[in-house]
Amino acid sequence: MVRPQITAGELGKIDVKRLPSGRYRARASSRDDSGALNRLTVTAETEDAARDEVIRQATATATGGSGALSPSSTIAEAVELWLSQILTRAKAGSLAYSTYESYETTARVIIVPRCGGVRLDRLTVGRCDRVLQRILEEETISKARRARAVLSLVCGYAVRDDALERNPVRDVQRLPTSPKKESALTREQIKGIRELMQQWRVTREDGPRPNYRALIDGMDIMLGTSVRIGECLGLRRCDVDITAEPPTLTVNGTIVSNKAQGSHRKDSPKRSRQRRSIALPSLAAAAVRRRLALAEPEPEAFLFPTRTGRSLSVSNYERLLRIFVGDEGANLIELGVDVDEYTTHIYRRTAATLIERAAGITLASRLLGHANEQTTRNSYVVTADQVDPVTAEILDAVLGG
């Protein structure tokens, strides 16, 4: 009878023999993905070790066989293996550490406590939908949306590992989006805020005065350029040209912070394609000049340095702003400022709204560095209540008066 041929990616029968020395020799044949036949021979101290090494060598030459997951594996087990793969990408530099930490926190805090024990072969579309709807009921919209994204990535990993036939999360019902923030600052509010910052704790007796100058300069730069807070704090002397006409600023880095690397400058904006050069309006140019006067003379010197020369961290700047808002809340409300939405993001939203109303969504999107104008419209531009009166002129011209 003809022995059946070993197919590509398959390992034949393993023959184990004990040698006179007491060690064990294992032999087998395997065929790699190219169809070439490989004769494998290994020796080891025990029979099991010899068999395991033959299997390991055969697995290394082919993509057949089974993955680390199986249909009986649990979501918690899939999460652990998926996270190890994501961490490898972060260490290789193809993924930001902050992204890995965000995924890990969502999986550990939200997903595993609620469905970590569920087996993959019991993970139906309906079950995924019920899990996510419960998270939506018990937590916030943003947490539910993050959980959906991470659970989908985990299931995608299980599909690639042949433990799931398809990704059930793709067919769950859509989750609601968080309400769009609608507040932007007016010229009068900006003037009032600047005056409040200049007088903030000017007579403080229980310690040094907070760094109000950094608050003002950061606000003016962000309002005048629409850069994010991390991009603003990441500015260096070499990134600005105050002698140009008009003065310019190049956005080519941002301050990020994670557990593995701490607070540091990443040599690209949030997205690498968002590198751009921006002409500075007067208020931003004046703020840059003030920061240059305080910065060290080296080209790489930060415009918002700490005492050690490192850049001010995003968390420290935002903490300083929260303290200011807490102290001056009543005065800000009197100015008509929504203190619940007063974060550094309001400066970016204000710049986008002003540019969109004056010159259209395309220029606003380019200023923010967005590839898609819809992103600018959905998340940054505050919709005007008054429709441009030119519509009445157009319809009168067409329809008659």
Residue 194 pLDDT exceeds 90: yes
Rounded Cα distance between 371 and 55, Å, is 49
Rounded Cα distance between 212 and 4, Å, is 81
28-37, 221-230, 327-336: lowest mean pLDDT where?
28-37
375: which 2 tokens?
Answer: 């992103």
For strands 248-251 and 240-241, give the pairing.
antiparallel
Q: How confident is the model at residue 351 (pLDDT cuts 50, 70, 90)?
A: confident
Half-sphere exposure of 217 (CA within 13 A, CB side): 21
Rounded Cα distance between 325 and 339, Å, is 7
Got the DSSP string for 32-96? -TTS-EEEEEEEESSHHHHHHHHHHHHHHT-S-S--S--TT-BHHHHHHHHHHHHHHHHHHTSS-
Residue with tokens 């034949």: 12
Half-sphere exposure of 280 (CA within 13 A, CB side): 23
Please write the tens of the pLDDT for every residue from 56-75: 888 777 666 556 788 999 99
Please write the tens of the pLDDT for every residue from 250-299: 888 888 888 777 888 887 776 666 788 888 888 899 999 999 998 999 99
pTM of the model: 0.68
Domains and CATH numbers, the chain: 15-60 (no CATH), 75-171 (1.10.150.130), 187-379 (1.10.443.10)
Q: Produce one character per residue of 202-230: b if its CB has 16 or more CB atoms within 10 Å, e if not.
A: eeeeeeeebbbebbbbbbbbbbbbbbbbb
- Per-residue pLDDT, 336: 92
- Per-residue pLDDT, 334: 93
Residue 390 pLDDT exceeds 70: no
Rounded Cα distance between 399 and 102, Å, is 56
Residue 247 pLDDT exceeds 80: yes
Q: How confident is the model at residue 3 (pLDDT cuts 50, 70, 90)?
A: low
Q: How confident is the model at residue 107 (pLDDT cuts 50, 70, 90)?
A: very high
- Per-residue pLDDT, 207: 72
For residue 245, the tally of other CB atoms under 10 A from its CB is 7
Q: How confident is the model at residue 396 (pLDDT cuts 50, 70, 90)?
A: low
Residue 338 pLDDT exceeds 80: yes
Residue 201 pLDDT exceeds 70: yes
